[in-house]
Structure 1
Amino acid sequence: MDIFVLLLSIALVVALLGLLCGVLVFWRVPIIRDKGNSTSSVSIIIPARNEELRLKPLLESIVRQQYVTYEVIVVDDGSTDRTRELARSYGATVISNELLEDGWIGKSAACWAGALAAENKLLLFMDADTVFTHPDSLSNYIASFESMGSRGILSLQPDHYAEKWYEQLAFLFPLIVMVGMNVFTIAGNRLKAGGSFGPCLLCEKAQYQQVGGHAVVRGAVMDDLALGKAFQEHDLPVRCFGGKGIAWLRMYPGGLSDMVQGYSKSMASGSTATLPLVMGLIYIWMAGASITPMMLVASGFSSTGWLGVSIGLYTLYAMELVIASRRVGRFVWWIFPLYPLLLIVFILIFMYSLYLSKRKGSVQWKGRNINV
């Protein structure tokens, strides 16, 4: 066997292992089914900093919610736009975030301020860019939490709606975020969740206060992961579900720069929550996905029939991503035949995130320097 065929054979093994790892780490994403109506009341807490454009769809979706009693608290985190006025126009209670000293990070401080002002039994922390999908979404969300004993956290990763080209090319980020939570693998709940999702996080106020709430994670860049771990340390369960049918989001409609800054802020820090086993499977999948296009190019110079094998592998990786995308959100079909470009975008931003966290130590986000 000549060296060329040997290298192609090794590449074939890596590619096949990568495909298998992709199946194992993204085995199943549970979603909330119709659980009927809930009788509990909930305080919806929305931290907001210059969210005038993104906040309106969420508030409009909240006022359409049926079968549930709620209050809406928008915590203004130093906005310079019309965030406060917009929130009041939809009947929300608006309070100011005053806790920006002694190691507090803006979002954690805003969530804590909202929780202190909340009057209801349940707390639902929502990012300003989320939107409820149906008029009964909130009721189903709460009823599902109650069916689980109303203990711990029930967090959702909303469906990710991508519209602009750069959002499409960032597809791997929401995918890896979900995979990195550990619980969507073939092992399911036998693995411990890496924390909770931040966009939709539901818990009981009494239990939130018991673990110390956002005050105990005041300096965490990924407050959602840290809060989930705080609940787990008090033997309270953390459940992570897909948000299909309950909520959707557009994370970075503000432009490419916002997207790069946002993912750079979170990716390197968030990766520490992923179990080594799951991280190893992700690395093998990425290795296989990276080597397959190189194998396709190399096999074009071979006369031993490797070209057909390489085309088949490339197609399988694209199909695997198509299937995964349906569990993550809405993406256009044409990005998946271009999946090597998705890998390049992911690797470049992840490396930049590592640089910021390990060398520079901070990132600019919404006009603030945040230590990462």
Structure 2
Amino acid sequence: MSVSDGVHLGIGLLALLVGVIVFWRLPVLTPTGIPARFPMLSIIIPARNEAGRISPLLRSLQMQRYHSFEVLVVDDHSTDQTAMIARSFGAKVLRNETVESGSGKSAACWIGAQHAKGQWLLFLDADTSFMDADGLVKLLGSYQRKGARGILSLQPYHTVHRLYENVSAIFNVIVIAGMNVFTYWGSRFNTAGSFGPCILCHKDDYFLTGGHRNVQGAILDDLALGQAFLDKNLPVHCLGGSGVITFRMYPEGLKSLIEGWCKSFAVGSKSTHPIVMLMIIVWISGGFISTGALISSLAAFNPGAMMISALLYAAYALQTLLFARRCGNFNRGLFVLYPILFLFFIAIHLYSLFRARVLHSVKWKGRKIEV
């Protein structure tokens, strides 16, 4: 084995260790009993052209054992049957009549909060759904045990149905690791914000921070809302949603997937702590270096280097698989070719930087969003 091969393998091993540190764990809800009662809950669902995705969520809400809640669907200028479907499930439909700066998810959430009757507010994306009939009880019980203050947000478990959806695997890992609080050091870093698809908070805390009205100019309202709570010294708890809530991201096709992740990564990386960001970069780089070491050993037909580099490559594939399976039911077999997933992530990240730094805009759901 040459000196350069040894250096590459050493860097690959170091990057594997960095990966363990940066994504040390993803805690999930662990119910320890069912409290006797909860305050009235208002479930607020912002929806723009969600006719093809909102039914599973509304159906899962009807199945909940806990029933003391209202469902407010805020129709944000939909051109499909979103409102009609929501009403068919018994939801109260509100319309966001404003345009330009008053449109979008944040404005819809703010309208829902203003009409809410509940003491607790639960904001859910239309593509989420609860995994069983006790999902709400688990979520509300956990919030109550945490003192019912600030935000409890869950990153839903990503359910994959079609092959192309698996390319979101690395994005899911980076989104979660980039929240800062899932490293080996845990809460020593402040959270980057909150997860957007599922946010539970107390109504008084929400209006104290200004809620979504205060973050209407933000592309990633979830991160901005979490920061608004932190600015008021209110806690923000982030957990994985496995066993409680799931979602299917971008079922419309690859174009929608690219636009969605481009929007998220255009500004999302700014909220990640520099040390965490550095570790993420090292981990991704190590994946490419390990791949390069394997290709180099095969080209040189060096049996010793081939065996060691193949073991390192397999270790990277396994680690990437384990990380991804914490986030969703991604196809296990695809991780044999994990460098392709890494390359796709890098390509979209570079494209998002181009959109943000050069074009100063991103596209999402037919809207051009200024960055």
Question: TM-score, normalised on structure 1?
Answer: 0.97
Shift of 1:331: 1.0
Shift of 1:163: 1.7
Matched, 1:18 2:2: no
Shift of 1:367: 1.3
Shift of 1:68: 4.1
3-state SS of 1:146 partner? helix
d(CA) in 2 for partners of 1:190 and 1:140? 26
Q: Which amino acid aligns with 1:352?
A: Y
Contact 2:124 2:198 in 1 (8 A): yes
Instruction: Tell me what 1:253 maps to.
Output: 251
3-state SS of 1:209 partner? helix
Larger mean CA deviation between 161-170 and 201-210 belongs to: 161-170
3-state SS of 2:239 partner? strand
Report the count of equivalent residues.
368
Q: Which amino acid aligns with 1:44?
A: I
Contact 1:26 1:186 in 2 (8 A): yes
Contact 2:76 2:103 in 1 (8 A): no
Contact 1:74 1:92 in 2 (8 A): yes
Contact 1:68 1:139 in 2 (8 A): no
Q: Deviations over 1:171-222 (max 9, x none)?
A: 1011110000011111111211000000000000110000000111011000
Contact 1:157 1:197 in 2 (8 A): yes
Instruction: Tell me what 1:33 maps to.
Output: 30
d(CA) in 2 for partners of 1:275 and 1:129? 29
Q: Which amino acid aligns with 1:6?
A: V
Larger mean CA deviation between 325-334 and 203-212 belongs to: 325-334
Question: TM-score, normalised on structure 2?
Answer: 0.97
Q: 2:219 aligns with which of 216, 221, 226?
A: 221
Instruction: Tell me what 2:354 maps to.
Output: 355
3-state SS of 2:165 partner? helix
d(CA) in 2 for partners of 1:188 and 1:127? 27
Contact 1:40 1:122 in 2 (8 A): yes
Instruction: Tell me what 2:239 maps to.
Output: 241
Instruction: Tell me what 1:336 maps to.
Output: 335
Shift of 1:228: 0.1
d(CA) in 2 for partners of 1:220 and 1:188? 27
Q: Which amino acid aligns with 1:371?
A: E
Q: Deviations over 1:140-178 (max 9, x none)?
A: 101100100011100000000112121112210111100
Matched, 1:9 2:6: yes
d(CA) in 2 for partners of 1:170 and 1:136? 28
User: Which consecutive unaligned segments of at least 5 residues does structure 1 have?
Assistant: none
d(CA) in 2 for partners of 1:75 and 1:316? 46
Instruction: Tell me what 1:364 maps to.
Output: 363
Moved segments of 4+, more than 3 Å: none
Contact 2:192 2:223 in 1 (8 A): yes
3-state SS of 1:170 partner? helix
Q: Which amino acid aligns with 2:353?
A: L
Shift of 1:105: 5.1
User: Which consecutive unaligned segments of at least 5 residues does structure 2 have?
Assistant: none
RMSD over aligned CA atoms reads 1.2
d(CA) in 1 for partners of 2:222 and 2:287? 30
